[in-house]
Structures are given as structure tokens and as C-alpha cells.
Chains A and B, each alone.
Chain A
């Protein structure tokens, strides 16, 4: 077979300028809302800074630790541009990063977090619902991120999260 027709390619998206080490990709939103009857695009429900996973057809869905699809191990992604803004509501595609970034995000289950604490994705069964949000990892759950040195900022309410690349094993 000719080398020119091997089909091999490196198709990674360029990472954002402020996340040079990130593994970036674009995922379409599963079942996005239809355009309103007025013609104005309807915003989705996935905010920036939340956690999504791929469903079996490659579409992005909010990560839910209760769902079998999100049970460890699974590849999780952070949305850096959800589908709630104008461009997201028009294209319903998410710019995602698998890892290799540090973020400040309001998308977490509200409680106290110490720097260095392990995190995972939330679930629909929590109160309040924390699907797509960070929360403290429980026994046997997959680790996705570590609380960064800033922890939770008491003024802004933002959580500092460091997300390495790869699929981590379930916590002990």
C-alpha cells in the first residue's frame, strides 16, 4: 500500500491559546433544542465549564455518574464554550477539552473543597442535581480533576480545578 493512501492522519484540533497543552475537540450536542417558532435559535442547557461525555453515537451529553454510560472508566470532557451563548445556540456544537488544563468554574456541587481533593462528575440523583458538574469523588468512582491551589474562591464562588489528560482509574 502506498504511504500516500494509508489514511493515517493526526486530526487533533488546535488547543486554545490559554490551554496549549489541552487535547481539544468539537462535539455536537445530543438532541439540541429546535429553533423557536419566531426563527430565533434556542439556547441549549450546557454551560461552559461543565463536564460532558460522548454517547454511543459520538454526541455530547452532560456527564452523569448515575448513568451506566458515565460509569468508570469513561472519557470526560470540559466544555470551554457551552451551547447557551449565541454561537452555541446557533451551531449546537461544543468546544471541549479532555484534559491538560486548569480552569475556574462555577459548575460544581456546592460544598467545601480543599486543594488537592479529587473530583469526579456529578449525578442526577444528588440534591441539588449535579449532572455535568464537579463534585468530590466517592469510593470506586472515576477521578476527573483535582482541586487546584485556589480551592473555592469565597468571593467569586469559582472552583479551581486541574484536569490532567487521560482516563483515570476509579478511586480506591
Chain B
């Protein structure tokens, strides 16, 4: 994920000189090669929530003010209910003084650790440790976004489990039941995306040709599960964040586009890297201002795999 960069006046002068000089000299390839000397510890991933709810950048002009606080929020209108009825030719429909409900999205700051190092120690790194840490920080912030999103989803499901939770094996029948639950009765929520761990998604490899057809079974055999973007027509968003999203669960969400049936993800300031230097001490960190709101609580269904 790309991010903005802010610096104080003298900031970048001594920052990991080998990398900075290469980048500034247009030697991007060499800089990348220098970075590749670094041994990665674990896989990091962008925010899954950003694929479920497309983030929308907002500015101060979009902010709603309040007389009791100077903190930002955005008030979103929700669809008012309506109805129609048959009447005789001289009859009329009911009059209604309509009122549309609203909800507010509030904001918080996500900030990485504040990395601090002396110039002398920084000189001993051959790879661009600053860039690696900055890039990783953005992914760490993405984890926080997912953690907040899951916290909201889990609270919504916990409040209505008999309706919004489906249990069963990783088979078509379970997914069918979950999708039907979204559509049934007065709920009528459209099916959008499926959020699933990569670990669980690989269970699809076990789906037999008698269930998914020879062509799909062959593709899975030849190319693996990553070659499939959908399961039974459902676009799948996969993650490796088993420390955030339980891997024995998946979630079906209604779409946010072209009509928004789910909620909002606002970025008041998207991921930004700040760098400063005071004497020989160099500090840098990343931060962002985001707000996530799930206004339509019935627009999600949890699947618990047995």
C-alpha cells in the first residue's frame, strides 16, 4: 500500500545513506536489490477490510462538527423505510411524514511504533532498514484496521447469532444456507464478498470433481487454489491474519458498491510516514486517521466451519 511522506527540514540527509542516495539518484533497481538482502521474518498483508469496504478519502470539508467537541465525525443518512399499496381509483396511499435514520462514523488514529536510532548505528545496516520498517509499519497499521473491523463484526454477530450465524462443513450446502439467510424474509440483503482465511480457502482443494466439476478440479490441481477468485460465484477476499480473524470462520458481506448496503470506511488522512532528525538521532513513524462504521448490521453473515 502506498503512503505519503512528511519530513522535517533536515530529515532525510543521513537516512540510511546507501538507500536514500540510490533512490535519489534514480538507482531504484540497486536499492531494491539492497533491500532484498534483508531476511523477512513473516508474511504481512494489506488490510482485508479495505477489500470488503472500499476506503473513501475525506477532507475537512466532509467533516461534521459538533458543539460539544472539536473531534471529527461524519453523519451518514440511512435509507428511510417506505411502502406502497393497492387502492381503488378514488383512493389514495397513506401519507407519511418521512424521517430517515442516520448514524455517525467517528475517527481514530492508528500509529506505528516510533522508530528511533542514532545515525552511527543506522550506518551499519546494509539494507534499507528504514524503508523496510516503514513498509512493515503500514502493514501493521493494516492489521489494526482489520482488528477494529473484526471487533465491530464480532459484536454485531454476537448480538444476533441465531439469525446471522451459520454452521456447517466447508461444503456448498453451508455456503448456500448462509447466502439464503442473507436473502430470506424481510432481511433481503444482497450478497457481496466472502472473507476467508487462506488456510480455510485451501479446503476448497478438497472439493471433489463430482461437486465442482472436472474443469475446476483440474485447475485446482494444476494451479492451486490461488487461481480461483470465487467460490460458488462469491468473490473471495482471503487473509493470512489468523491472529485477528478466527480461521474456523468466514463472513459474507453485502456490497458497498454501486449501492452501499454495509457501511463506511473513511480515511481522513491515509497512511503517512513522518521522518525527523534532531542532531544525530533519527526518528520515523507512520500514522493515519481512519473511521469505520457498519451501519447495516444485517448485511453480514458469519459461517462457522465444523
Contacts and interface: CB of A to CB of B under 8 A. Distances in A.
Given A35-B156, A37-B297, A39-B295, A91 B69 contact: no
Contacts of A36: 103
Interface in A21-45: 34-41
A102 interface: no
Interface in B226-267: 263
A39 B107 contact: no
A86 B155 contact: no
Contacts of B17: none
B103 A86 contact: no
A5 to B, nearest CB: 12
Nearest to A87: B108
A89 interface: yes
Name the residue in B106, B294, B295 with the highest tally of chain A Cβ atoms < 10 Å from its Cβ: B106
Nearest to A84: B69
Contacts of A11: 113
A109 to B, nearest CB: 25
A39 B106 contact: no
A106 B171 CA distance: 59
Name the residue in A35, A40, A86 with the highest tally of chain B Cβ atoms < 10 Å from its Cβ: A86
A66 interface: no
Interface string B133-156: 000000000000000100010011
Given A39-B294, A39-B297, A87 B159 contact: no
A90 B103 contact: no
Given A35-B155, A35-B156, A38-B101, A87 B107 contact: yes
Given A37-B297, A38-B295, A85 B69 contact: yes
Interface string B65-101: 0100101110000100000000000000000000001
A38 B82 CA distance: 18
B109 interface: yes
B37 to A, nearest CB: 16
B126 interface: no
A41 B295 contact: no
Interface string B285-306: 0000001011111000000000
